[in-house]
Amino acid sequence: MMELDDGDATAQQHVAPVWAVFGDLMSGLLGAFVLVLVGVLVVQMDLVANLQAEVQKRQIEEQRRMALEKALAVPLASGRVTLNNGRIGISGSVLFPVNSDQLRPEGRQLLKSLVHPLHVYLGERGEILMVSGFTDDKPISDGNRKFEDNLELSAQRALTVTRALIDEGMPRAQVFAAAFGAEQPVASNTDEKGRALNRRVEMAPVPRSANPQSAASPSAPTQAARP
């Protein structure tokens, strides 16, 4: 039998640890690669799930918009009612005289025409109707002592519309009022045309479990009230 001399034995002792270290290194790299791959797959799965959820949400919103347009086809065709992002808008001049919360006769007739389609729409979806009052930023005149400010005027107008809807057949449990005053203008208040657009009442179907303030706007001061 051939015996290894001291030089050969020493060489083998040096070579063996090198291969062991190399094997450990490769195992570590393979494990790290697997972890990275798993992480990438998890991220991709989350992205796909989020994308699918967003697509589904947009589809539901589009179906909701189309259903609301269909329900309000007649008043929308008259041009006295607008629909934007699920909010039904009515010009304040159609409903009320300037600085007044007394409904015009034609305004009441318009509200009456909305009750049945809105009642059906809300009932099918288990939603409720938020009636919001808005004004321009022009201060209430000193001669009008009935309202302290625009917020109070918008609140009374929202309540007047809410009560009119109830009088015309809308169930009390399906409607509530909110006030914004001069907050959330839709046009500039620098001229009369813009101020006229800002004097308005909006109605928006919201989930029954929604907080009235968050349903309207999380940043705007509101007053919500049952009629």
pTM > 0.75: yes or no: no
- Residue 129 · residue 203 · CB < 8 Å: yes
What pLDDT, on a 0 to 100 scale, did the predictor assign at position 93? 87
CB crowding 81-90: b at 16 or more within 10 Å, else e:
bebeeebbbb
Give me the count of residues in the chain. 227
- CB distance 96 to 157 below 8 Å: yes
Write phi, then psi, for 89 (nearest 5 degrees): -110, 140
Residue 216's pLDDT is 47
In DSSP terms, 176 is beta-bridged to 130
What is the CB neighbour count within 10 angstroms for residue 223? Answer: 18
Phi first, then psi: give them for residue 78, nearest 5 degrees: -75, -20
Q: Is the pLDDT of residue 23 over 90?
A: no
72-225 is a CATH 3.30.1330.60 domain: yes
Residue type, 113: S
Strand order in the sheet with 200-207: 81-84, 87-91, 200-207, 127-134, 175-181, 223-225
pLDDT in tens, 32-43: 777 888 888 888
Q: Report which of residues 148 and 57 the model is more confident about.
A: 148
Domain ranges within the chain, ordered by starting residue: 12-62, 72-225
pLDDT of residue 77: 83
Contact 181, 223 (CB under 8 A): no
